[in-house]
Amino acid sequence: LMRFCSVEMGSFYLDIIKDRQYTAKADSVARRSCQTALYHIAEALVRWMAPILSFTADEVWGYLPGEREKYVFTGEWYEGLFGLADSEAMNDAFWDELLKVRGEVNKVIEQARADKKVGGSLEAAVTLYAEPELSAKLTALGDELRFVLLTSGATVADYNDAPADAQQSEVLKGLKVALSKAEGEKCPRCWHYTQDVGKVAEHAEICGRCVSNVAGDGEKRKFA
86 lies in some domain: no
Task: Examine the domain organization and report whether 169 and 201 are in the same domain.
Answer: no
Paired with 158 in beta bridges are 130
Burial class (CB in 10 A: 0-12, 13-18, 19+), 160: exposed
Task: Examine the domain organization and report whether 134 and 154 are in the same domain.
Answer: yes
The phi, psi pair for 83, rounded to 5°, reads -90, 170
Range of the domain at 49: 2-74
Output the CA–CA distances (angstroms, integers) from residue 80 to 38, 50, 151, 224, in the order listed.
11, 17, 32, 21
Task: Examine the domain organization and report whether 192 and 158 are in the same domain.
Answer: no
- Provide the number of structural domains found in the chain: 3
Q: Determine what percent of the chain falls in helix, strand and coil, rounding each to the nearest 5.
A: 50, 10, 40
Domain harbouring 16, CATH code? 1.10.730.10
Q: What is the pLDDT of residue 83?
A: 83
CA angle 64, 77, 33 (to 5 degrees): 50
Task: Examine the domain organization and report whether 212 and 172 are in the same domain.
Answer: no
The answer to whether the pTM exceeds 0.85 is yes
Mode of pairing for the β-strands spanning 175-181 and 124-130: antiparallel
Task: Examine the domain organization and report whether 54 and 135 are in the same domain.
Answer: no
pLDDT in tens, 72-89: 999 899 998 888 899 999
pLDDT in tens, 145-155: 999 999 999 99
Q: What is the pLDDT of residue 39?
A: 96
Output the CA–CA distances (angstroms, integers) from residue 25 to 22, 30, 31, in the order listed.
9, 8, 7
Q: What is the pLDDT of residue 211?
A: 97
| Torsion angle of C-alpha atoms 159, 183, 195, 29, degrees rounded to 10 | 60
Contacts of 97 (CB under 8 A, 6+ apart): 134, 137, 172
Q: What is the pLDDT of residue 82?
A: 84
Q: What is the pLDDT of residue 24?
A: 96
Task: Examine the domain organization and report whether 163 and 101 are in the same domain.
Answer: yes
Domain harbouring 136, CATH code? 3.30.2320.20
Q: What is the pLDDT of residue 188?
A: 97
Task: Examine the domain organization and report whether 57 and 12 are in the same domain.
Answer: yes
Rg (CA), the chain: 20
Regions of the chain with pLDDT less than 70: none
Q: What is the pLDDT of residue 215?
A: 95
Q: How far apart are CA 211 and CA 55, in angstroms?
A: 45
Q: What is the pLDDT of residue 173?
A: 94
Q: What is the pLDDT of residue 81?
A: 86
Q: How far apart are CA 80 and CA 95, in angstroms?
A: 21
* Helices of type H across 115-153: 132-139, 145-149
